[in-house]
Amino acid sequence: MNDNDIHIPVNLERSIELLGPALQRDGAVLVDGTLGMGGHAEAFLTRFPDITFVGIDRDTDALAIAGKRLAPFGDRVHLVHSVYDEIPAALKTLGIDEVSAYLFDLGVSSLQLDEVDRGFSYSKDAPLDMRMDATSPLTAEKILAEYSEFELRRIFYDYGEEKLAPRYASKIVQRREIEPFVRSSQLVEVIIAATPAAVQRAGHPAKRVFQALRIEVNQELSVLERAIPAAIDTLEVGGRIVVLSYQSLEDRIVKRVLAARSASTAPAGLPVELPEHRPELKLLVRGAELASDAEKAVNPRATPVRLRAAERLRRTK
């Protein structure tokens, strides 16, 4: 399979429309905190021939593919193997003080979903890995072997919003006393057996458990909680940020940060809003914007996406 054919960038034109005004200025820097295979990056570098691009990803396979894809753009491109909450350190290493635009395309990538051996999909048997960064020590297999029943229940509740979390956690602990979980099919078998038929008719019962395990393995939500504020802090005045979320847990975090920093901090009843109380950000879209029907038709993976965007109005430090 041709690398460029693997992935159609989600909400590409809308992201270009929203970030474009911040990339027109001289010396503009675009940071893609979730580089993936470089589909968004290639389009931005082509559309804005004077920008400097920084691509960050924890997945070494993705970095290798993106590196080949973006090689024609030469020294305009800087790729960094890192988790995206470490953006400030990456920028410091590159000698970049401020960023003109940020793009975050969250969640599991097409590469990770399509590579069966990564173990992200409940529909295909594979090792229970689920690491976005193959150099990280924690895997889904390790979680299923070592976490207590209470801890399993917690992550299924918190990260999968799974109502049957207690039942699944109990059955997993019982089963691992007989044999260790090493393959995704083993986990799916236990979950299906523990799920009432009426619930199974509503969708695959393993979906939320697999989501929860993936989030725990990669610490996705805690990383996101640190990453969005860090990105805003390094955004120049007039700079813009676009975040594409694929599930409600991610979107709530993004919504909370952007809402807090786009609101006035003036005490109630203050007759005049002082400059230091003015909003730091201006929201560029109303609420969470969904993909258009045309986008969904071309790229079904855009169906769950929720887009939020903001522009920085002033410095706070």
Show binding-site residues: 38-40, 57, 84, 105, 112
Q: How far lies 188's CA from each of 72, 85, 185, in Å? A: 43, 32, 5
Whole-number Å distance between alpha carbons of 17 and 205: 38
For the annotated binding site for S-adenosyl-L-methionine, the residues are: 38-40, 57, 84, 105, 112
User: Of 52, 54, 103, 43, nearest to 78 (Cα)?
Assistant: 54
Residue 97 CB coordination number (10 Å): 10
CA–chain centroid gap for 144, Å, is 23
Whole-number Å distance between alpha carbons of 220 and 214: 8
Whole-number Å distance between alpha carbons of 104 and 106: 6
The residues near 137 (Cβ < 8 Å, ≥ 6 apart) are none
User: Of 11, 108, 10, 12, nearest to 59 (Cα)?
Assistant: 108
Instruction: Tell me if residue 251 falls in helix, strand or coil.
Output: helix
Whole-number Å distance between alpha carbons of 249 and 270: 35
User: Of 222, 192, 190, 218, nearest to 205 (Cα)?
Assistant: 192
Can you say whether residue 176 is alpha, beta or left, with left for phi > 0 and alpha for psi between -120 and 50 degrees? Answer: alpha
Q: Of all residues in the chain, what percent are helix, strand and coil, respectively (each to 5)?
A: 50, 15, 35
Whole-number Å distance between alpha carbons of 176 and 230: 40
User: Of 202, 153, 156, 209, nearest to 184 (Cα)?
Assistant: 209
